[in-house]
Amino acid sequence: MGAPEPGHVEEIAPAWRDAALCFAQDLGRRGSATRTRVAYSRDVDDFARWCSRREIDPLTVSARTIRRYVAELSERGLAPSTIARKLAAVRGLFASLREHGRLRQSPAELVGAPKRPSTLPRVLKESELAGLLDGIPAQDALQLRDRAIFELAYACGLRASELVGLDLGDVDHDSEQLRVEGKGGRTRLLPIGEQAQASLALYLERGRPPLVAQGADRGRPPLAAQGADRGRGELAAQPTARERGQERALFLTRSGRRLDSGDVRRRLRTWALRTRTPGHVHPHALRHSFATHLLDGGADLRAIQELLGHASISTTQVYTRVESARLRNAYARSHPRA
């Protein structure tokens, strides 16, 4: 990045802070995911800081201003996908200002996003998935937990954030369903396959209790012990709201706390290496494989959309491209005159 222009300031001007707050409140009201709100807030602050340095007010921003900003992002060497995300945040900001009557038209509507390379999602073959999942032993608590996590991820097509957000009460063992809170606060009920059910039952019976106990050893006694103490009339400290949240979590760390998305990615990478699963395997690869294998089996695209929790069918249609690419490859390999 070049030298700052005249009027350089590091802080965001008050008018921009007010505009950013308006946008953040709108995202909150719409039920946008926490990660989305954080990412958009950071991107809007970057743009606001860039404009503040040039003494550009939110109400005087033009399409040309935004194009200059995008060009500078490109000069910094940012990936087209990153620039597209930042531009989406700026579009959202000005759409919010327009909705609140502060602007007649959004200048960002006239700015096109940079072209991103067309990449198909990574999909594992059924044999690769079987080798990965069956290759996770079921001997200790962490192995039982990991087997249940990845069986459930593939059986239900879950995002990593959805996996770690699951609570004990989200599993309905009688109806063999899973309640999932997805992006934008959208809730869906998903069927759980037999193998995932078996792995989950084994984890709940033999894997999770030791993790709860290990967490208790690091701090307070387990809930059962607290209840016994109260039954004998002894005083026992009530769990805090944070601890109650950990106690409800379906999947726990070694120390008895709720897993986070990073934990899931690291554990999957570990098992992929140990089972010699080819390629870069990440939680979304299991989700992509779930959708693609359903499509291969004849599932309707609308049904896959509902199972994945996509707000728009256009997001789900990427899997038709995966299927099309697979068929073209099969044709090229098999047809005598291809």
Q: Is 203 exposed, middle or buried (0-12, 13-18, 19+ CB in 10 A)?
A: buried
The phi and psi torsions of 189 (rounded to 5 degrees) equal: -105, 125
53, 86, 159, 208: which is the annotated catalytic residue? 159
What is the reported pLDDT for 7? Answer: 43
Which residues in 109-147 are b (16+ Cβ under 10 Å) and which e? eebeeeeeeeeeeebbeeebbebbbeebeeeebbebbbb
Kindly list the structural domains of the chain, giving each domain's residue range(s) and its CATH number in brackets, ordered by start.
14-110 (1.10.150.130), 126-331 (1.10.443.10)
Whether 98 sits among the annotated catalytic residues: the reply is no
Told to judge if 183 belongs to the known catalytic residues of this protein, a careful annotator would answer yes
Residue among 86, 208, 267, 310 flagged as catalytic: 310
Beta bridge partner(s), residue 190? 178
Give me the pLDDT at residue 44, please. Answer: 95
Residue 155: the pLDDT is 92
Out of 69, 154, 203, 319, which one is annotated catalytic? 319
> Is 284 known to be catalytic?
yes
| Per-residue pLDDT in tens (0 to 9) along the chain, 338 residues | 444 444 444 689 999 999 999 999 988 888 777 888 898 999 999 999 999 999 999 999 999 999 999 999 989 988 888 898 899 999 999 999 999 999 889 998 888 766 665 566 678 999 999 999 999 998 999 999 999 999 999 999 999 999 999 999 999 998 899 999 887 778 889 999 899 999 999 999 999 999 998 876 665 444 443 333 333 333 334 444 444 445 789 999 999 999 999 999 999 999 999 999 988 899 989 998 998 888 888 887 888 888 888 877 777 777 666 666 655 666 577 656 55
Q: Which of 183, 188, 254, 326 is catalytic?
A: 183
Confidence at residue 334, expressed as pLDDT on a 0 to 100 scale: 64
Q: Does the annotation mark 269 as catalytic?
A: no
Q: Give the pLDDT of residue 121.
A: 66
Q: What is the identity of the amino acid at 131?
A: G
Residue 259's pLDDT is 93
| Catalytic residue list contains 319 | yes
Residues in the chain, total: 338
Among candidate residues 53, 145, 147, 287, the one labeled active-site is 287
From the candidates 122, 188, 284, 326, give the one annotated as an active-site residue: 284
For residue 310, indicate whether it is catalytic. yes
Q: What's the whole-model pTM score?
A: 0.62
